[in-house]
A and B are shown apart, each in its own frame.
Chain A
């Protein structure tokens, strides 16, 4: 039996975990793009500029998704078409994949007693919570990008 209080706390701490994981994922993608831009122009300055730009993009993305939740409809920005549902796991023929190297291994590749403590699946939350989590993750990522652009000297 789970008390409502306990449940609320669980949801809170788990959504915090998801925000962290998501924002880091965004940050990873952003950094690679920025570094590629910096590499293409062979200049550290471009890297820092692109960090700023990426920060701005993420800020805007977060802001617009917030507006979308509150009811704003951006013309021409409909939601992405839903992908066809995957074959359910229990009916898949092949479940084991190739052994991954450690760097590519995520906690989804470990089947142990720690799974519930290291992994947050989006299915734990309902639609509204998920949107809130995504907005926060985007904002956090943009903040991190801005901060990085200030830290790195060129």
Chain B
């Protein structure tokens, strides 16, 4: 690191301002952001969505949308002034060749109607002028390098035939085909599973070593940052508010925004207590911002924050922050805040775990299978799954995308008709198959679902009023119009929405608010049991905390039971009592929350746990990534059974494996006894 300081930066952006012209209004997306990039380093830019991270880096390669332009500052790259570029020809000397970019959605970089091989070959011939046949060989080599097996066959396939993780690998392949100096990765793994994410991050690291690239990550996931970054820049409202080495940012954050981001991580929460959450959303950049942009959302802002924009204060050789808290005059106030924080931390005691001795079974799932027809093929999305849910608990269902976890949730909600086999009992009564209208009505009032995507789960063409009252309309659960309105307003207040929102359309709300509308829609039916289908995975870190808090509050107040579906084990630990792990349609392990983390048995659970990013650079750097391959089991002769290996701890294993696991448990118990 120290030598890096002495080096000249290869790319240096100074006071960059980027403005967009949106139908007559000027939006200043980036308001004087500065950044230096040194050879071979990894820089992470973090911040909520809407902070201008992507826009800022897109300006390095001239990929701003048509109505946007750099209106101030300079971007120097190897002696070239990039802001002076005007034509596409000039940009193409840099874009792709020197600075390449990987986007969150791989399909923005892939042509859906050309084979992936062609697209890589195209890049090579375009850049190096290589003969077609030779370029093709090189493309296959690169495909192999990014970890695509069967490269010759895959060469001739279309992006649509690849899974999300594989597509991202292809995009990385097209990006590195030109041997760029700088690789900008814009949320490269946000849409991917944790295990795939870990592999992709590892791949980028290896390629970085091999090609001596400088890598810039843009992400809102602090776990990823801890894993990959040498330096971190925190961006808020179009400005870099803090930058420093990764350890400095994680261990000694100085800006209130950085602190808030770190505090709102569920990994750092204490069970049974509210998570710290940042209220509101990043500011509207159409307006002029006065003072510190974060002040309105900062409960501990100072008066000066609303009046003057703070300068960059230097904390150490490498660590800078843009906050008035570092001003000598603020010393007293800073000491007071730190004392308060320390005092609060000491007071918190985690809740006692859920008591199962008197718990009643609310929902029983027995040998549930869900089959889908794909063309002529039958496809088992869920394969003989059995579990119980007790009244008042939170059971989490964790697995990768495509593992069938959402299918289980929807099967319980009776979305699939004849595809479902096996039985589901709710309060002892069978709910699969055809039900009478009365019975169906009762179930709709008892069981409800909360959805993942705050954008897709609300009907864009309906007002909040209709969305929330949809269930009320269906079964006429109100006396008159007034009564219905009263119910809607009451539930809106309960989830923390102003009643003025009732006549608005979902389009106007932020992700967190939309999610609250979705929660209100299901709660207005007065259910006892809720299937929460990844309600937080599509949200920013800060908003996650809001929604988790709300779910916990509702659970306490209304005595709800949750089936919580998630792909991220770290979030699940904070809210669940028991965790079930699912892999390719089969449950592989089910155990009380802390037990699963302390003593995972199934190799898949272990792999999943090892892949979870943890927001601490020291932990992240030293972790060992385990991989799981289902071929390691020998299930042909000795098929696995769903066994209770310890009280309350279930596992899918055959006899031979049970013996191994048993030994593992005994060893661990022995170690503890010593």
Contact = CB atoms under 8 A, between A and B. Distances in A.
A121 B115 contact: yes
Contacts of A87: 88, 92, 126
Interface string B130-142: 0001000000000
A80 interface: no
Interface in A98-120: 107-108, 111-113, 115-116, 119
A91 to B, nearest CB: 4
B112 A123 contact: no
Interface in B172-210: 174-175
Nearest to A90: B109
A6 to B, nearest CB: 10
Interface in B71-101: 88, 91-92, 95-96
B114 A89 contact: yes
A90 B171 contact: yes
| Chain A, interface residues (CB within 8 Å), range | 20 to 34
A104 B556 CA distance: 58
Contacts of B506: none
Interface in A32-83: none
B637 to A, nearest CB: 23
Nearest to A6: B153
A22 B264 CA distance: 58
Nearest to A84: B126
Nearest to A116: B158
Contact of A93 (B62, B110, B114): B62
A60 B174 CA distance: 41
29 contacts: A85-B125, A85-B126, A86-B122, A87-B88, A87-B92, A88-B96, A88-B122, A88-B126, A88-B174, A89-B109, A89-B119, A90-B96, A93-B62, A93-B63, A93-B91, A94-B66, A111-B107, A115-B113, A115-B158, A116-B157, A119-B113, A119-B158, A121-B114, A121-B118, A121-B158, A123-B114, A123-B118, A123-B121, A124-B156
Nearest to A94: B66
B114 A91 contact: no
A153 interface: no
A107 B107 CA distance: 17
Contacts of B125: 85
Contacts of A113: 160
A107 B671 CA distance: 64
B122 A1 contact: no
B112 A88 contact: no
Contacts of A88: 96, 119, 122-123, 126, 174
Interface string A1-28: 1100001000000000000000000000
B117 A123 contact: yes
Contacts of A91: 92, 95-96, 123
B161 interface: yes
A97 interface: no
A1 B631 CA distance: 14
A58 to B, nearest CB: 27
Given A7-B153, A119-B113, A90 B161 contact: no
Given A90-B174, A93-B62, A111-B107, A116 B160 contact: yes
A123 B113 CA distance: 10
B171 to A, nearest CB: 7
Contacts of B92: 87, 91
A132 to B, nearest CB: 16
Interface of B: prevailing SS: helix
| Chain B, interface residues (CB within 8 Å), range | 35 or more
Given A89-B110, A94-B66, 18 more contacts: A85-B122, A85-B126, A86-B122, A88-B123, A88-B126, A89-B119, A90-B175, A95-B108, A111-B107, A113-B160, A115-B158, A116-B160, A119-B113, A121-B113, A123-B115, A123-B117, A123-B156, A124-B115
Contacts of B109: 89-90
Nearest to B101: A90
B150 interface: yes
Contacts of A123: 114-115, 117-118, 121, 156
Given A2-B153, A115-B112, A123-B115, A86 B160 contact: no
Contacts of B119: 88-90
A151 B39 CA distance: 72
A94 B64 CA distance: 10
Given A90-B96, A90-B171, A111 B126 contact: no
Nearest to A11: B156
B111 interface: yes
B113 A107 contact: yes
Question: Which 6 A-B pairs rank lowest in CB-CB distance, beginning with the nearest?
Answer: A123-B118, A90-B109, A89-B111, A91-B96, A108-B113, A116-B158
A86 B126 contact: yes
A119 B160 CA distance: 11
Contacts of B91: 93
Contacts of B96: 88, 90-91
Contacts of A119: 113, 158
A128 B674 CA distance: 72
Contacts of B118: 121, 123
Contacts of B121: 123
A82 to B, nearest CB: 9
A124 B88 CA distance: 30
A111 B107 CA distance: 10
A89 B117 CA distance: 13
A1 B150 CA distance: 7
Nearest to A89: B111
A129 to B, nearest CB: 11
A88 B91 CA distance: 13
Contact of B88 (A1, A2, A93, A127): A93
Contacts of B156: 123-124
A18 to B, nearest CB: 12
Nearest to A124: B156
Contacts of B107: 111
Nearest to B88: A93
B63 A89 contact: no
A93 B58 CA distance: 11
B113 A90 contact: no
A5 B91 CA distance: 46
A38 B292 CA distance: 76
Contacts of A111: 107, 112
Nearest to B125: A85
Contacts of B110: 89-90
Contacts of B95: 91
Contact of A89 (B66, B122, B150, B160): B122
Interface in A112-151: 112-113, 115-116, 119, 121, 123-124, 127
Contacts of B88: 87, 93
